[in-house]
Structure formats: C-alpha cells, structure tokens
Homo-oligomer: A and B are copies of this chain.
Amino acid sequence: MERVAIIGAAMTQFGQREGEWITDLLAEAGIDCLEDAGVDANDVEHLYVSNMTSGEFEGQTGVMNALVHDIGAIPAYTKRVDQTSASGGAGIYAAWQSIESGASDMTLLVGGEKMTHRSTSETTDIIASVTHPVEYNAGVTLPSFAGLTARRYLERFDAPRESLGKVAVKNHKNGVDNPHAQFRKEVDLETVLESPIVADPLRLYDFCPITDGSAALLFCPESVAREYTDDYAVVTGVDGATDTQVVHEREEPTVMNGVVESGRGAYEMSGLGPADIDVAELHDMFTILEFLQMEGLGFAEQGAAWKRVEDGDTERDTGELPTNTSGGLKSKGHPLGASGVAQGVEIYEQLVGEAGPRQVDADAGLCCNVGGFGNCVITTIMEAAQ
C-alpha cells in the first residue's frame, strides 16, 4: 500500500472574524490550500469538513455541502466529521483513510468554527454539552475539570504553580511569530500568575481564547504527490482512542488514557518512538493539558513533564523537543473544528521548511488533538518526504 502524503496547507487569520460566516472561513482556507498545492478544485475527489457546532453556533447545518459548492469542487463527495474539540484530528484520520482505502486520490480537509459572535456564557454552555449528561446536568464545565485536574497534578507531583504558567509564557512567545495567531504578544510569568482566577488554581492565562478561524490540508497518495512537488510530508502514524466520557469514573485524572492509547497506536504504525519526534503540537486548551500529553506520549515520565518545561526542553529555539511552535491553542486560538487541522498545518510547514521565523530542524513531528476532556484523542505522526 502507498503512503499517504500531504501536499498543501493553509489557515485563515485566527481571532474575531466579525461579519463572516463559517462558510466564508471554510472557503478561504480551502481555496488557499488548493492554491498552496497548485491543485485545481476539480481534481478534489473528497472534501471533508471538521466542525463541531455550526448548527448550534450559527443555525446553519450542511456547511460541507455549501463549501463544496463555494469552492467549485462539485461533484466531490463531502461529509462533516465531528469529534468535539478533536474534530480536526478526526478529519486527518478520516482523510488518511479515504486515501489509504483507495476511495479518493485527492482529499481536501477543511476544519473551522465560528464562535465569537455568541456570548461567553452561551459558548461555555455549548462546549459543556460535550460532557456526559450525568456531569452536564450537574453543571460541570470543561474549565472546572481543568482546575480540579491541575490541583491534583500540582499536589500529587509536588509541582510548582509557576511551571504551568511557563507553558503559557512559552506558547505566547511562539505565537508572536505566527502571522495567523489570535494573540501575537508575549506575556511574562507575573502577568499569568496574577491574572483573574477562572477555576482555581487555573487563571485566565491558563486558558485558550474563544476564536473564529479555519485551516486546511490536502492529502493524496505519495505517487500523486510526486507529480506536484518534492517537498511534501507523509502521515506515517495515526490513531485515535477513547477514555471514559464520565470523568469522575476515571481511576486517576492526571493520566489521559486516550492520549496514551492513541499515541501507542501512532508510534506503532510509524515505527517511531518519542525520542524520534523533533517537534510537537499538543492540545493546550488549558496549560495543564500540555503536561498530561507530554507524559501520555512518552516525552516525560509521569509527573515529570513540569520539570522538562522548567528546564527549557520544550522551548522553540533551544529545546530538545520544541512544543507548540505555532503558539498552540493558547495564543494561536482554538476554533474547535479548526484546531486539529491547524496543528497539522504547523507540523507540515515545519517538515517542508515553510515555518519562517518559527522554523526548527525537524524530520518527524507529532500532533495530539484532544476531544472534550480527553474523551477521545487523535495522535498523528508526520515525516518529511526527503
């Protein structure tokens, strides 16, 4: 079987996109991605849209059908893929399957979400609807899970509160060099640690913002990729796995089984291990999640991720494992369905040498996209073709 290649990538400006619909954002990223790859819309065979909530946020469904029309790709087959905040990762997995199964020789994946036009309380409620009914009806929100988990982590592993803050400082610093990031400003540790409490011990700067935006990737078999370019990336590992959706049933909340299992599958498929990964995009919806993913993916022993962050190992220009070079969800923003695709965009750009001032030296990269509070996680490993 041929390997699955990625030959193009694009993302819109992330942030507040007033006066634009979800369909506008999806079309912008989709068209830019095709242009980036030099592929005509007529050559797209499948077009997948990663999106969680166009119906809830905008009262508009069928956005994938609008997109295939708007970019001129009819009669390409289309569907929407939803895995809550990991819809983008689920889209990557679906696009990979479409190529690997022979169903399509050219699959465009576009992830996007339009969120900022709703109030914060409405938005929080829509996002909280991903939790199990048992917990949703008890009034639980994702930030509350994050606060509880952070407290448990800090106490269990005797980690300093500052270590969480350093994740935010690092990712904001990286975001300055990402022209598409929602926030392009550095923050210092003091600002993070003194920002308003959201879910104790987590504060405002421990959380990603609410964001509008879209991102896209173009997939094809490696033989087709070579017709277009020599600089492409290859998806060599991808897997997804669930953990119980009822978070209070988990044995140990600081261990994310979905991360562990999906990582195991992706490593096995690629033949690589944690030490082979040169750059990683982790799902830092909350700072604590970056620690939990580093540990679940074998980048640190359990309870030791905070030390690697403190030691500077995840810094972009000087670290052994540059992490969230894009700025992460923290500073780049988190338009739900777009985020997993945008992680892929960053790794693709790093592998083909198009990351500009964020460029690191990388032959292999990894994305980890987390749905809900670790309910379902997709891990993807990409390698440079050359």
A interface residues (Cβ-Cβ under 8 A, vs B): 1, 21, 23, 52-53, 55-56, 59-62, 64-66, 68-69, 73-84, 90, 93-94, 96-98, 100-103, 126, 129-133, 136, 239-246, 257-258, 261-262, 371-372, 375-376, 378
Question: Which chain B positions have C-beta within 8 A of A69?
Answer: 132, 242, 244-246
- When C-beta atoms are compared, the residue in chain B nearest to A46 turns out to be B240
Does B61 contact A56, Cβ atoms closer than 8 Å? yes
Query: Once bound together, how far apart are the Cα atoms of A102 and B82, in whole Å?
Result: 21
What chain B residues lie within 8 Å of A82 (beta carbons)? 61, 64, 79-82
Contacts of A97 in B (CB 8 A): 94, 97-98, 101, 103
Cβ contact of A242, chosen from B1, B65, B257, cutoff 8 A: B65
Q: With a CB–CB cut-off of 8 A, which chain B residues contact A73? A: 242
Q: Is the CB of A242 within 8 A of B77?
A: yes
> Can you sample 12 A-B contacts with CB below 8 Å?
A52-B61, A55-B129, A61-B126, A62-B84, A65-B372, A69-B244, A74-B243, A77-B239, A79-B82, A81-B82, A93-B103, A94-B94
Query: Considering the chains assembled together, what is the distance between the CA atoms of A129 and B22 in angstroms?
Result: 13
* A245-B77 contact given A84-B61, A97-B98, A101-B100, CB 8 Å threshold: no
Given A69-B246, A97-B103, A98-B97, A126-B55 contact (CB < 8 Å): yes
* CB-based contact A242/B68 at 8 Å: yes
The answer for the CA separation of A250 and B53 in the assembled complex, in Å, is 29
Chain B residue nearest to A238 in the complex (CB): B103
Contacts of A262 in B (CB 8 A): 77
A77-B242, A242-B78, A376-B77 known; A65-B94 Cβ under 8 A: no
- A69 CB to closest chain B CB (Å) equals 5
Q: Could you say which residues of chain B place their CB within 8 Å of the CB of A81?
A: 79-82
Closest B residue to A4 by beta carbon equals B101
Do B103 and A103 touch (CB < 8 A)?
no
Residue of B nearest to A80 (CB): B82
Taken together as a complex, chains A and B put the C-alpha atoms of A104 and B175 apart, in Å, by 37
Instruction: From B53, B66, B132, B240, give the contact of A133 (CB < 8 A).
Output: B66
- Chain B residues with CB under 8 A of A96: 101, 103
